Amino acid sequence: MKKSLIIVGVIVLFVIIMFSWVSGKYNGLVTREEGTKQAWAQVENVYQRRSDLIPNLVETVKGYANFEKSTLTDVINARAKATQVTVDPTKLTPDQIQKFQGAQDGLSSSLSRLMVVIERYPDLKANQNFLDLQAQLEGTENRIAVERRKFNEVVQDYNINVRRFPTNIFAGMFGFQQKGYFKAEAGAEKAVKVKF
């Protein structure tokens, strides 16, 4: 009788330890996955800030100089395209991240062309509203870079845990999959040639 109680006690203790261990691994993955969703929300937040600044910038430029309508149209169209691309934070696959990044890169390219064209208009460059908007846009671009870096760090932590043994067994059982990263634009690895 005593032996039976000891065996039952050991089995119960083993089940409790295994349950605690499995639930700890599962809860750790949930916490890290929620961290990736929060980091993604912050990335979207700073991109939204940039998107919200663009209409003000376009209106300021339009009101100051009736020029380069195709450039302004390109910026407006790129903004519309960038805001249409949404990514479900539960499915942050490399393809989804690349699609989102491609739309945002198109907007960045249009804004860069606009800034180059603006260089020809000294009155506009001296306008305080324009200068304020330009400073806010530059600050937002820096925020985007910071948030993308933070997102990649959180995703790296999550992906390491999803792939690490024995957590990878539970990750597969419970449907946790690796997330995608932001990557540098194509050609970013090449040094820019500066000529004087």
Looking at residue 193, the DSSP 8-state letter turns out to be: P
**DSSP H/E element including 11:** helix 2-64
What would the DSSP string read from start to end of 138-151? HHHHHHHHHHHHHH
Question: Average pLDDT for residues 174-182, to the nearest whole number?
Answer: 90
What is the average pLDDT score of the chain?
84
Apex CA 8: angle with CA 4 and CA 10, to 5°?
115
In tens, the pLDDT along 93-132 reads 888 888 888 889 888 888 888 887 777 777 776 777 778 8
pTM of the predicted model over 0.85: no
- In this prediction, residue 27 has a pLDDT band, given cuts at 50, 70 and 90, of very high
Question: Which burial class, exposed, middle or buried, applies to 189 when counting CB atoms under 10 A from its CB (0-12, 13-18, 19+)?
Answer: exposed
In tens, the pLDDT along 154-166 reads 999 999 999 999 8
In tens, the pLDDT along 64-94 reads 656 566 777 788 888 888 888 888 888 888 8
Is pLDDT at 39 greater than 90 in this prediction? yes
Task: Give dist(CA 130, CA 60) in Å, integer.
Answer: 6
Sorted by where each begins, the domain ranges of the chain are 2-174
Handedness of CA 82, 84, 88, 93 (dihedral sign): negative
- What pLDDT is recorded for position 196? 32
Please state which of the ranges 14-18, 26-30, 121-125, 132-136 shows the lowest mean pLDDT: 121-125
18: Cα within 13 Å, side-chain hemisphere: 7
In tens, the pLDDT along 129-142 reads 778 888 888 898 89
- In this prediction, residue 191 has a pLDDT band, given cuts at 50, 70 and 90, of very low
What CATH number does the domain located at 2-174 have?
1.20.1440.20
